[in-house]
């Protein structure tokens, strides 16, 4: 088989001109076609964007007014309670608590939104005012293009919130200063307070003050006695008594007294009136306390007021006679002195068990301090580890009693006429400060 060339020459390559023509024709047609389709697509999108108007959400003005109204109710309720009203607008304690917590925030946010809407009307109000004057017509033209109502509304809200925060900071600074002043007044009590290392009476304190200032300063002082009084129900209450002319020395603020006028409150105090703190008012069941249904705000009650009560407080008064020569048996040989001393000391006892018969009873580890056992029969009683400190033992029969480890500190013993400690066991008992006429030789004193 044999091949040979034909008469025709077939060469697939193109010339340079043909290649350039093909490239220009292809790219040109692609650009023209793409430009046309792109223009149609852009025109279509623009047309759809113009036709489809975005729905604008209207502000919830009802919510703004609701917050503002609820906050206003809270403000009015607080103002009424601070100016003499007992309950204000809101009487339910639960809702009053909610309004007390959330009321200020509702009034702050709601007020800013409502007033911001009013501020957005500012350009319209200015147009109405300046548009009527020929001289300021240009102002009207300028205000017409001052911005949309929405932007002005937002700007007004931001300004109101900013001003409110600045005002709150200023008020807090002022109240902080008042708190510092009240704290100093309550701590010091007067213009100056001096603390002594040793106890000094009024005259000695004034003499020391005059010595420090070389008599250049005139000073007046007062004493505030403190008494432990007993209420009609038997509760003890710490009481402070205001003496005459104490108002010239002590600093009183409106917050420290009932009512609005300090002088009126001090006048009521001088006429026998009193005021009580939270715990004392609860103990005495006074108006305004948790234990009483009567509501009481910051008011000064007159004597004829139904909520005013008369409380009779009592106190114990002890008279002490100083016996010359000291407290020894040698100086108490006089029977009248012994009897007087016995009467005074027995009056200081907390429990009177004179004449009781506890013979053979188990009284171990009992609290029997400051008990009056005059003439009691404690023979054979088990008083091991009992606390008998400062008790009165006159004529007590303790024969055969077990007093091992008992606390007999400052206990007074007088065996006459029937008292005895014969065969009593005082092993390990504390006899510190024991006093009286007693024979311990008949008792067992191991390690006592």
Give pLDDT tens digits for 236-287: 888 888 888 777 777 777 777 787 788 888 888 888 888 887 788 888 888 7
pTM score, two decimals? 0.40
Separation between Cα atoms, residue 437 and residue 327, nearest integer Å: 13
Burial status of residue 70 (CB atoms within 10 A of its CB: 0-12, 13-18, 19 or more): middle
DSSP helix/strand/coil, 47: helix
Kindly state the average pLDDT of the residues 23-50.
71
Q: Which of 400, 407, 403, 411 is nearest to 437 (CA)?
A: 411
Whether 366 has a pLDDT exceeding 70, the answer reads yes
pLDDT band at 31 (very low <50, low <70, confident <90, very high): confident
Of 56-60, 210-214, 279-283, 429-433, which gets the smallest average pLDDT?
Answer: 56-60
pLDDT band at 326 (very low <50, low <70, confident <90, very high): very low
Whether 89 has a pLDDT exceeding 70, the answer reads yes
pLDDT band at 428 (very low <50, low <70, confident <90, very high): confident
pLDDT given for residue 268 in this prediction: 83
Q: Which of 306, 234, 313, 231 is nearest to 272 (CA)?
A: 313
Q: Which of 64, 82, 61 is nearest to 72 (CA)?
A: 64
The values of phi and psi at residue 335, to 5°, are -65, -35
Separation between Cα atoms, residue 207 and residue 426, nearest integer Å: 53
Taking every pair of Cα atoms in the chain, the longest distance, rounded to a whole number of angstroms, is 175
Give percent above pLDDT 70 in the chain: 75
Mutual orientation of helices 122-130 and 137-144 as an angle, nearest 10°? 160
Q: Which of 398, 394, 360 is nearest to 375 (CA)?
A: 394
pLDDT band at 57 (very low <50, low <70, confident <90, very high): low
Whether 225 has a pLDDT exceeding 70, the answer reads yes
List the domains of the chain with CATH numbers. Answer: 61-182 (no CATH), 189-221 (no CATH), 227-317 (no CATH), 349-448 (2.160.20.80)
Separation between Cα atoms, residue 363 and residue 383, nearest integer Å: 5
Whether 3 has a pLDDT exceeding 60, the answer reads no
Task: Extract the tokens encoding 153.
Answer: 């509304």
Task: Extract the tokens encoding 251.
Answer: 């600093």
Separation between Cα atoms, residue 46 and residue 371, nearest integer Å: 106
């Amino acid at each position: 088989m044999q091949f040979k060339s034909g008469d025709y020459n077939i060469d697939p390559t193109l010339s340079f001109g043909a290649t350039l023509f093909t490239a220009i024709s292809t790219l040109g047609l692609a650009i023209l076609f793409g430009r046309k389709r792109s223009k149609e697509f852009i025109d279509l999108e623009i047309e759809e964007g113009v036709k489809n108007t975005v729905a604008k959400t209207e502000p919830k003005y009802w919510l703004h007014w609701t917050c503002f109204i609820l906050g206003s109710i809270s403000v009015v309720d607080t103002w009424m309670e601070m100016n003499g009203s007992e309950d204000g607008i809101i009487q339910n304690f639960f809702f009053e608590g909610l309004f007390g917590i959330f009321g200020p925030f509702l009034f702050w946010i709601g007020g800013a939104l409502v007033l911001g809407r009013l501020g957005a009307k500012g350009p319209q109000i200015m147009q109405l005012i300046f548009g009527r004057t020929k001289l300021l017509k240009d102002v009207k033209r300028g205000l017409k293009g001052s911005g949309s109502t929405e932007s002005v509304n937002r700007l007004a809200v931001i300004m109101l919130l900013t001003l409110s925060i600045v005002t709150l900071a200023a008020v807090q600074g002022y109240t902080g200063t008042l708190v510092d002043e009240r704290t100093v007044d309550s701590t010091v009590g007067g213009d100056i307070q001096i603390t002594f290392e040793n106890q000094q009476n009024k005259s000695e304190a004034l003499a020391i003050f005059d010595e420090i200032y070389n008599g250049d300063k005139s000073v007046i002082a007062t004493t505030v006695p403190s008494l432990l009084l007993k209420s009609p129900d038997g509760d003890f209450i710490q009481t402070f008594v205001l003496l005459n002319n104490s108002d010239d020395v002590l600093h009183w603020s409106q917050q420290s007294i009932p009512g609005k006028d300090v002088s009126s409150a001090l006048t009521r105090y001088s006429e026998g009136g009193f005021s009580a703190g939270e715990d004392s008012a609860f103990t005495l069941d006074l108006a305004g306390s948790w234990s009483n249904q009567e509501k009481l705000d910051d008011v000064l009650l007159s004597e004829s007021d139904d909520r005013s009560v008369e409380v009779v407080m009592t106190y114990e008064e002890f008279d002490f006679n100083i016996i010359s020569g000291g407290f020894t048996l040698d100086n108490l040989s006089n029977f009248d002195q012994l009897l007087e001393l016995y009467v005074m000391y027995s009056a200081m006892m907390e429990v009177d068990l004179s004449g009781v018969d506890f013979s053979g009873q188990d009284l171990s580890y009992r609290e029997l301090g400051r008990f009056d056992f005059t003439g009691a029969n404690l023979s054979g009683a088990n008083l091991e580890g009992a606390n008998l400190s400062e008790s009165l033992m006159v004529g007590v029969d303790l024969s055969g009693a077990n007093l091992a480890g008992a606390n007999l500190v400052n206990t007074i013993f007088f065996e006459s006429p029937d008292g005895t400690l014969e065969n009593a066991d005082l092993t390990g008992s504390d006899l510190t400060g024991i006093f009286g006429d007693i024979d311990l030789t008949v008792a067992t004193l191991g390690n006592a």
